[in-house]
Chains A and B, each alone.
Chain A
Amino acid sequence: MNAKRHLILALLAPLVSLLGAATLAEPEFIGDSPAPGNMRFNWIHGSISAKANSDVRIQVHRYNEHTYILRENPAIHWEAPFMYLLFGKTQAVLLDTGATTESEYFPLRDTVDTIIARWQRANHVEYLELAVLPLGSDFSQNQGAEQFADRPNTKVLSVGSMQREQLLAQRNLDLGGRTLSLLQTPGLDEHAVCLYDPWTDFLFTGNVFYPGRLVIRDFEAYKASLLSLLAFKNDNAVKWLMGGRIEMSDYPGVDYRLRSNFRPREHALQLDAALLDEAYQIVQLMNGSTDIRIHDHFIVMNGVGRGARDYGYPSYTPERFRQVRLR
């Protein structure tokens, strides 16, 4: 009787461990090609009347099981910034924290907690730390950080904090099997950093490089930052540049004006890494002069305010591409 039971157990054991392997396997963040993911969808983009908006407050997109992209609803704040939540075996990191502090309007902490709880359950990870890392000091990157102040097992790496300084010195962030490299990229924002994820091959460029108005504050620093991003891109496989905002429309060179909270024809979030070469070329041509240079996918501005407009470009816009003039 006993022997029989042992036999059954012995027969079942490999089966159980096989099943276990299928469900309990730790994610292995290795592979020559970028981890697959899905970007075939539209982001929420506000509505004609923000008051009547019925979209979710935070759109959560699961790029793949260990990589999430979040967007703040433009009807809460027109900046509608993006946030990234990346998982490793021991730690998750939240890149950027949105443009709104109040959790009743912008429940970032709840949303992140929900994603983490599901991920932990699905991946059988008992203990997971969270790092909250605003990629820069811009308003649209750090407003939600304080929602995480009292979260257990969490460090908030705000600009000026000791832990952020340590990270800057370390130059990499180990999530457990998934180590992100960090580059300091001042120019638009002196505290800006970019992160590279060798698993998805994403280069997270925050507000340093994104499909929008790149308003240079320190020309030489920005030029140097672009150069270091270029060098990094040439040494590492970069699938896409993932920025923090979208301000361009999908019409080449045409942006949505500041504070517009209905952007039905937004540019895609992800940018081709080759655009860094073009940006560097543009910045070289500007050579520090007060100028607005309009590229199909971004606008580089130096010495002018964020809402400045260039009279001269595009010199010809077909009638159907012109924005309705409201005044």
Chain B
Amino acid sequence: MIKVRHVLGITVVSAALFAMERAVSITAAELDFSSPIAAEGSFPEVWIHGSKSAMDNTDPPVQVHAYNEHTFILRENKAINYEGAFMYLLFGNHKALLIDQGSTSSPALFPLRDVVDGVISEWEAKHGQSVELIVANSHLHGDHYAAWNQFVDRPNTIMVGLTHEEVMDYWGFTSYPDQRIEYDLGGRKLIVTGSPGHQSSELSMYDTWTDLLYTGDMFYRGRLYLDDWEAWVASIRRLRQLADEYPVTHLINNHIEMTTTPKVDYPIGTTWQPDEPPMQMTLSMLDVAVKAVDEVPGPGIYKYDDFLIYNEIPWAYTTDP
């Protein structure tokens, strides 16, 4: 008798909880990401960019910039790691996608999990939704997944994984890299395609809501280290094709290594970049890359105004005099 009453009690309580949860999600209207024009957003005037003496840096470990209320761009402090990598946190209904996890593992030095948790809980409170976090990567290089470990014990989280097979499996690629995947981030449609060349599991993403085209490490203002030239050529053409079919507001990516002087980069390892150009790039810069594809004769360093092509050059090679 006691046992039956106990079970009954549990059923009643759980039914009530279930009803409450439904009630909460019903009261919070679902967000609509199907706008026919690009959702507006803005980039900061300047990003945090390190300091002359790194040990005297007073910037936050991670800069969080809201491009708009559902799109966050994060940058790792260059005084922690010179890569100064960008990370992205995109929200849809009941889902959030974290692309990349920076260049430093230690939560004491680089508290990415805390920062991401903070942004998510604020977003959840504001929009009355709880979100599942998807921890994904643009490509599988250590300066973009170092803090992946900080998320492994996070509840309500999908870890895509750090092997080619796991990445292909999660996104649903059957013919990487040519295939285009339509990914539903809670009503926010992303188009995901392969873009190898810098690294052989790299992805590029187009967000149909903001019209941002994310090109990771395969195209940014800096040294484009290309392991596989043929693959990169195909990837650049694939991105140009995508940009022909969809409107693109900005190209966004992972690093800034150029200075504001055309063709001049901050050499590898620089921890203070007072003269950085913006991170976002334009389609005309992509056109320069499309043209470069036919101009580059073989391995070597080729300088363009907004990026340098390091075709099959060792990653730590610099042009220091």
Contacts and interface: CB of A to CB of B under 8 A. Distances in A.
Contacts of A51: 54-55, 57, 61, 77, 79-80, 109
B321 A306 contact: yes
Interface in A88-140: 100, 102, 104-106
Interface centre among A49, A73, A327 (most CB of B within 10 A): A327
B245 interface: no
Interface in B51-65: 52-57, 61
B214 interface: no
Contact of B314 (A50, A102, A306, A311): A311
Interface in A279-327: 305-309, 311, 324-327
Contacts of A104: 56
A308 B109 contact: no
A100 B53 contact: yes
A326 B83 contact: yes
Interface stretch (B147-155, B186-194, B268-276): B268-276
B225 interface: yes
Contacts of B57: 50-51
B125 interface: no
Contacts of B127: none
User: Which bucket holds chain A's interface residue count?
Assistant: 20 to 34
B55 A53 contact: yes
Given A325-B142, A326-B141, A327-B315, A259 B268 contact: yes
B267 interface: yes
B314 A309 contact: yes
Contacts of A52: 80, 108-109
Nearest to B51: A51
Contacts of B103: 326
B55 to A, nearest CB: 4
Contacts of B53: 75-77, 100, 102, 105-106
B267 A307 contact: yes
Given A51-B77, A259-B270, A327-B143, A75 B55 contact: yes
Contact of B104 (A49, A324, A325): A49
A325 B315 contact: yes
Given A48-B104, A257-B316, A260-B269, A326 B142 contact: yes
B268 A105 contact: no
Nearest to B317: A309
A102 B82 CA distance: 22
B54 A258 contact: no
Interface string B286-321: 000000000000000000000000000011111111
Contact of B268 (A49, A258, A311, A325): A258
A49 B79 contact: yes
8 contacts: A49-B81, A50-B55, A51-B57, A52-B109, A106-B53, A261-B54, A306-B320, A325-B315
Interface of B: 52-57, 61, 77, 79-83, 103-104, 106, 108-110, 141-143, 217, 225, 267-271, 314-321
For the complex of A and B, 4 pairs with smallest distance between CB atoms = A259-B269, A307-B318, A50-B54, A75-B55
Interface of A: 48-53, 57, 73, 75-78, 100, 102, 104-106, 257-261, 305-309, 311, 324-327
